[in-house]
Each structure stands twice: as structure tokens, then as C-alpha cells.
């Protein structure tokens, strides 16, 4: 039996990275998450793993041996939603990248996988991203990056994120993101794998089992703009709101004017909305994980 690659997960949230990498065939051995609600979710699904609560209290020696380190470090200081107010890597939250880099220097795992909003690429006219690349390069990593959209990985939701893969001392990162098979690209916007849902389902069949969070006052029409919620007329969903302001859960085949009951209790609290809005897409991570496993066998036999 092949030995599974071990994963140390930082900024774990509700376990998007963790679940995706496990689905690909890896084993999670460490988690770090400061939010108490997210900790509860992690403990339920990974009860045997001790959760570190504050990354600032960690040292490299606290991290168990793991070939893969991953994390979606905080995006608030990088997000385009804060245009004009972005502090970038100088911000208290997004600046936690430096803590990851500090710990990497003491362990140097074979793989590093980071995720953030595309705003990372142009924060401070690209200087923040330059700093990130230079720091990882100084540690000996070959860095590759690519913006991936969850709608091309079987998720009926527009969710663009930049994924940064580093491979220690090899060009394996480029092979992971750009070599071999490509993700399945839809032929047109809003198509994706959601087209596999039958026409009868889209027209109102009760068989629909996909849901979207929709706001009470916006998102009724596909022309509502980038902050709209729910499914657009072309079948694609906007990005879920991490601020927890959504207040309706709608069936995928439901119209924008009439919201259908889903059996989800009304007391679904803002913690859940926020956790889902911040979550890393599992399907994207599983794809990355399978690529890493294949490439790891070539470059680190």
C-alpha cells in the first residue's frame, strides 16, 4: 500500500482544504483555526486531530511531519470588495502570510498550497504578490500560480480564487497547475457540469438537491450585479456572502421571484453563512490533490 501524503492545514475554516485533499488520497495530521464555530465543525469531522487555535502562538516545532502545507490565509486586506481601503500584506489579517513563511523556514515541507482572492495579484500594484513570491523563492520553492473558478469543477457557483503551489527544489508546481489533464472547461458561461441536471429538474422537478443562499432584496435578476445572491438566469450562482447577510436558502431550480422551502430551519445562523462564504471549494482542492500526488511520485521518488 502506498504511503499517503500527510497534510498540515492552516486557516482551516470548516475544512475545505482538508476534505478535498483527503478525497484525493491524502491524510490530514494537523489543523489550525481560530474561529470557535469552525473549530466545532472540524472537531466533528476530524475528532482525532488536535486543533491549534492561534497561528501566532505556533512555532515550526509544533507542526507534525507533513509533506503538504496548505491554507487560505485571510483575504480581508486584499479583497477588491475593500477597494481603496486595502492594506494588503501590511494588514493585520492578510499579513499572517508572513507567519506561514516564518514557520515554513523551520520545516520546509515538499509542497505548499496557498489560496486567496484574485485581488492578491494587484494589491499595491502587484507589489504584495511580488513580496509573496520572493519570500517563497528565498525558501527554495518553485512557485506557480493560477486563477481557478469553482464553476468549472462541478460547482454551480462563480468563485474565482488564485491558487499558489510551491514545490521544494523542483519544478513540480508547474506540472501540477499546468501539466497533464486540464480541468473540464465549460463551453460557455454558466454551463459547467450543472448542465448535467436534467431539463425537468431545471423546470421545477422536486428532485433538485442543490441549493443556493439568496438575499432578501437583491439577486432576483441575473442583471443584479456582482454582489447578487442565488442562481442567475443562466444557471450559475454568484459567490456566497461571507458576511452572513444571506437570509433565504433556495432550490437550484427555483425562480428568483418565488423562493421555495428547502426544509432548512429558519434559525440557520449567520455563523454558518459566513463559514460557507469563506470556505475553499472542495472540488478544486481534490483536483489539485490528485495532481500533487501524481507529480510527487515523479519528483520525490
Calculated CA dihedral for residues 32, 33, 36, 42, nearest 10 degrees: -70
CB 162 within 8 A of CB 117: yes
Could you tell me the three cell numbers for 226? Answer: 456582482
pLDDT at 245 over 90: no
Note the pLDDT of residue 19. Answer: 97
CB 29 within 8 A of CB 8: yes
Pick 171 or 80 by higher pLDDT: 171
Grouping H, G, I as helix, E, B as strand and the rest as coil, residue 163 is strand
pLDDT at 204 over 50: no
Note the pLDDT of residue 75. Answer: 63
Q: pTM (2 decimals)?
A: 0.77
Q: Which of 71-75, 248-252, 279-283 has the highest mean pLDDT?
A: 279-283
Could you tell me the three cell numbers for 150? Answer: 469553482
Q: CB neighbours of 5 closer than 8 A, spacing ≥ 6?
A: 25, 26, 27, 67, 68, 111, 292, 293, 296
Domains of the chain: 6-185+280-299 (3.40.50.150)
Other residues' Cβ atoms within 10 Å of the Cβ of residue 210: 16
pLDDT at 293 over 80: yes
pLDDT at 187 over 70: no
Confidence of residue 32 (pLDDT cuts 50, 70, 90): very high
Beta strands of the chain (E only): which ranges?
Answer: 6-10, 27-32, 51-52, 68-71, 111-116, 141-149, 160-168, 211-214, 248-251
- Segment among 78-82, 213-217, 287-291 with least mean pLDDT: 213-217
Give the Cα separation of 236 and 40 in Å (integer): 31
Give the Cα separation of 129 and 54 in Å (integer): 24
Pick 242 or 106 by higher pLDDT: 106
Give the Cα separation of 43 and 49 in Å (integer): 8
Nearest to 150 by CA among 16, 13, 33: 16
Q: Give tens-digit pLDDT for 78-122.
A: 555 555 565 555 555 666 888 899 999 999 999 999 998 888 888
Mean pLDDT of the chain: 76
pLDDT at 238 over 60: no
pLDDT at 210 over 80: no
Confidence of residue 182 (pLDDT cuts 50, 70, 90): low
Pick 146 or 181 by higher pLDDT: 146
Q: CB neighbours of 257 closer than 8 A, spacing ≥ 6?
A: 220
Give the Cα separation of 20 and 201 in Å (integer): 28
The percent of residues above 70 in pLDDT, for the chain, comes to 62
CB 71 within 8 A of CB 100: yes
CB 164 within 8 A of CB 143: yes
Note the pLDDT of residue 269. Answer: 58
Q: Which of 204-218, 260-274, 282-296 has the highest mean pLDDT?
A: 282-296
* Mean pLDDT, residues 189-211 taken together: 42
Confidence of residue 38 (pLDDT cuts 50, 70, 90): very high
Q: Give tens-digit pLDDT for 48-83.
A: 998 999 999 999 999 999 999 999 877 655 555 555
Confidence of residue 16 (pLDDT cuts 50, 70, 90): very high
- Of the candidates 32, 75, 142, 250, the residue annotated as catalytic is 75
Active site residue 32: no
Amino acid at each position: 500500500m502506498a504511503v499517503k501524503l500527510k497534510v498540515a492545514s492552516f486557516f482551516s475554516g470548516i475544512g475545505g482544504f482538508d476534505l478535498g485533499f483527503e478525497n484525493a488520497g491524502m491524510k490530514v495530521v494537523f489543523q489550525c483555526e481560530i474561529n470557535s464555530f469552525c473549530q466545532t465543525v472540524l472537531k466533528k469531522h476530524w475528532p482525532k486531530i488536535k486543533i491549534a487555535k492561534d497561528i501566532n502562538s505556533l512555532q515550526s516545532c509544533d507542526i507534525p511531519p507533513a509533506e503538504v502545507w496548505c491554507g487560505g490565509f485571510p483575504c480581508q486586506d486584499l479583497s477588491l470588495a475593500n477597494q481603496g481601503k486595502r492594506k494588503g500584506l501590511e494588514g493585520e489579517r492578510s499579513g499572517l502570510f508572513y507567519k506561514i513563511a516564518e514557520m515554513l523556514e523551520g520545516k520546509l515541507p515538499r509542497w505548499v498550497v496557498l489560496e486567496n482572492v484574485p485581488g492578491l495579484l494587484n494589491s499595491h500594484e502587484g507589489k504584495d504578490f511580488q513580496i509573496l513570491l520572493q519570500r517563497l523563492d528565498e525558501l527554495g520553492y518553485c512557485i506557480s500560480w493560477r486563477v481557478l473558478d469553482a464553476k468549472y469543477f462541478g460547482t454551480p457557483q462563480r468563485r474565482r480564487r488564485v491558487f499558489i503551489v510551491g514545490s521544494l527544489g523542483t519544478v513540480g508546481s508547474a506540472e501540477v497547475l499546468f501539466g497533464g489533464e486540464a480541468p473540464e472547461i465549460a463551453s460557455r458561461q454558466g454551463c459547467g457540469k450543472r448542465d448535467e441536471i436534467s431539463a425537468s429538474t431545471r423546470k421545477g422537478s422536486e428532485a433538485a438537491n442543490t441549493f443556493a443562499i439568496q438575499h432578501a432584496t437583491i439577486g432576483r435578476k441575473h442583471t443584479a450585479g456582482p454582489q447578487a445572491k442565488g442562481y442567475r438566469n443562466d444557471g450559475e450562482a454568484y459567490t456566497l456572502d461571507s458576511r452572513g447577510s444571506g437570509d433565504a436558502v433556495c432550490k437550484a431550480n427555483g425562480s428568483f421571484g418565488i423562493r421555495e422551502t428547502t426544509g432548512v430551519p429558519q434559525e440557520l445562523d449567520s455563523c454558518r453563512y459566513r463559514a460557507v462564504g469563506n470556505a475553499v471549494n472542495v472540488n478544486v482542492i481534490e483536483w489539485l490533490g490528485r495532481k500533487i500526488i501524481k507529480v510527487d511520485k515523479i519528483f520525490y521518488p
